[in-house]
Amino acid sequence: MCSLCGILGANEHWADAAEREGVYTRNADPMRRRRERADRVRLANRVLALYGMRLSDWQGVSFVLSTFTGKSEIVEDLGHLWPAAEKLCGRLCDPLARELLEQLDADPG
């Protein structure tokens, strides 16, 4: 999301940078890109599950974020994920919240 105006799709997200000289990205090699997306979904789901949500890959180009009750939204990248998650579950997704950290610590993964 554009950090100025909130327009979706206006920015390249830093974790999904296009391949170019000097830039670190896992998008250059198709296999590596696919593995990175799978890892991202798996790890994000450890966090999202604590908010009653799950993420899945959508044809290798976007992600689908769903609540356990069936609401869903398409998100483009990590930059869109957390605002969409907060909107969908109606709670703040705060990585500094003590309860969240205690639950992640207790969750064996």
- Give the binding site for another protein (CB under 8 A): 2-5, 10-15, 17, 20-26, 36, 39-40, 43-44, 46-47, 78-79, 81-83, 86, 92-96, 101, 104-105, 108-109
Residue 8 burial (CB count, 10 A): 14
Question: Nearer to another protein by C-beta: 26 or 54?
Answer: 26
CB of 57 to another protein, least distance (A): 14
Considering the complex, state which of residue 5 and residue 61 has its C-beta at the smaller distance from another protein: 5
Of 44, 51, 49, 46, nearest to 93 by C-alpha is 51
Smaller CB separation from another protein, 70 or 106: 106
At closest approach, how far in Å is the CB of 65 from another protein?
13
Residue 60 near residue 34, CB atoms below 8 Å = yes
Q: Are 107 and 46 in contact (CB under 8 A)?
A: yes
Determine the distance from the C-alpha atom of residue 16 to the mean position of all C-alpha atoms in its chain, rounded to a whole number.
11
